[in-house]
Chain A
Amino acid sequence: MAGRGVITLPKDRADLVERLKEVQRRNGHVPEGAIAELAESLAIPVHEVYGVASFYSFLSTKPLGRNVIRVCRSLPCYLKSAEMIMEAVEKELGIGLGETTPDGRFTLELTNCIGLCDHAPAMLINQDPHVDLTPEKIKKILRAYK
Chain B
Amino acid sequence: MPQQRIVLKNCDVIDPERIESSLENSGFQALAKARGEMTPEQITDEIKASGLRGRGGAGFPCGIKWEGARTAPGDEKYVICNADEGEVGTFKDRYILEKDPYTLIEGILIAGRAIGAKQGYIYLRAEYHFLLQHLQNAVDQAKTKGFLDGFNLEIREGAGAYICGEESALMDSIEGKRGESRYRPPFPTTSGLWGKPTIINNVETLMNIPQIILNGADWFNQMGTERSKGTKVFSVSGDVDKPGVYEMVLGSPLRELVEELAMAKGIKLVQIGGATGRLLPVDKLDTPLAFEAVLGAGAVTVYNESRDVIDIVHRTMEFLAEESCGKCTPCRQGTEVMAEVLGRFHRGEGSLKELQNLEDLSSAMMLSSLCGLGQAAPNPVMDSLQHFRAEYESRVAK
Interface residues of A (CB under 8 A from B): 10, 13-18, 20-21, 48, 51-52, 55-59, 74-76, 78-79, 111-120, 124, 127-129
- Select one of A14, A20, A56, A118 contacting B235, CB under 8 A: A118
- Select one of A21, A55, A114 contacting B127, CB under 8 A: A114
Check if B243 sits within 8 Å of A117, measured CB to CB.
yes
Residue of B nearest to A129 (CB): B130
- Select one of A15, A59, A75, A119 contacting B312, CB under 8 A: A75
Check if A75 sits within 8 Å of B301, measured CB to CB.
yes
- Select one of B157, B161, B238, B245 contacting A55, CB under 8 A: B161
**25 A-B residue pairings within 8 Å (CB atoms):** A13-B175, A14-B176, A15-B176, A21-B157, A21-B159, A56-B126, A56-B159, A59-B160, A74-B315, A75-B316, A76-B237, A79-B239, A111-B127, A112-B88, A112-B162, A112-B323, A113-B86, A115-B86, A115-B90, A115-B91, A116-B91, A118-B91, A118-B237, A118-B243, A127-B130
Q: Name the residue among B89, B239, B274, B312 with the largest chain A CB count within 10 angstroms.
A: B89
**Alpha-carbon separation in the docked complex, A75 to B129 (Å):** 22
Check if A118 sits within 8 Å of B245, measured CB to CB.
yes
**B178 within 8 A of partner (CB):** yes
Residues of A within 8 A of B125 (CB): 115
* Minimum distance in angstroms from B94 CB to a CB of chain A: 5
User: How many chain B residues touch A (Cβ–Cβ < 8 Å)?
Assistant: 48
**B179 within 8 A of partner (CB):** yes
* Minimum distance in angstroms from A45 CB to a CB of chain B: 12
**B151 within 8 A of partner (CB):** no
Majority SS at the chain B contact face: mixed
- Select one of B159, B239, B307, B316 contacting A58, CB under 8 A: B159
Residue of A nearest to B236 (CB): A118
Check if A14 sits within 8 Å of B175, measured CB to CB.
yes
What number of A-B contacts does a CB cutoff of 8 Å give?
Answer: 116
Residues of A within 8 A of B160 (CB): 56-59, 111
* Minimum distance in angstroms from A110 CB to a CB of chain B: 10
Residues of A within 8 A of B88 (CB): 74-76, 112-113
Residue of B nearest to A24 (CB): B159
* Minimum distance in angstroms from A70 CB to a CB of chain B: 9
* Minimum distance in angstroms from A63 CB to a CB of chain B: 18
* Minimum distance in angstroms from A17 CB to a CB of chain B: 5
B286-345, CB < 8 A from A? 301, 303, 307, 312, 315-316, 319, 322-323
In the complex, the 4 A-B pairs of residues with the closest C-beta atoms, listed nearest first: A56-B159, A57-B160, A58-B160, A16-B176
A56 touching B301 in the complex, CB below 8 Å, given contacts A113-B89, A114-B127: no
* Minimum distance in angstroms from A113 CB to a CB of chain B: 4
**B174 within 8 A of partner (CB):** yes
Residues of B within 8 A of A21 (CB): 157, 159
Check if B127 sits within 8 Å of A76, measured CB to CB.
no
Residue of B nearest to A79 (CB): B238
Q: Name the residue among A74, A79, A113, A128 with the largest chain B CB count within 10 angstroms.
A: A113
* Minimum distance in angstroms from A112 CB to a CB of chain B: 6
Residues of A within 8 A of B127 (CB): 111, 114-115, 124
Residues of B within 8 A of A20 (CB): 159
**B50 within 8 A of partner (CB):** no
B160-181, CB < 8 A from A? 160-162, 173-179
**Alpha-carbon separation in the docked complex, A112 to B160 (Å):** 9
Check if A55 sits within 8 Å of B178, measured CB to CB.
yes
Residue of B nearest to A118 (CB): B243
Residue of B nearest to A58 (CB): B160
Residues of B within 8 A of A128 (CB): 130
**Alpha-carbon separation in the docked complex, A114 to B86 (Å):** 7
A79 touching B307 in the complex, CB below 8 Å, given contacts A17-B176, A58-B160, A115-B85: yes
Check if B176 sits within 8 Å of A112, measured CB to CB.
no
Residue of A nearest to B129 (CB): A127
In addition to A13-B177, A17-B173, A17-B176, 5 A-B residue pairs with Cβ atoms within 8 Å of each other are A21-B157, A74-B88, A76-B89, A118-B243, A124-B127
Check if B322 sits within 8 Å of A79, measured CB to CB.
no
A75 touching B91 in the complex, CB below 8 Å, given contacts A14-B174, A117-B237, A127-B129: no
Residues of A within 8 A of B388 (CB): none
**Alpha-carbon separation in the docked complex, A104 to B307 (Å):** 39
**B244 within 8 A of partner (CB):** yes
B222-255, CB < 8 A from A? 235-239, 243-245
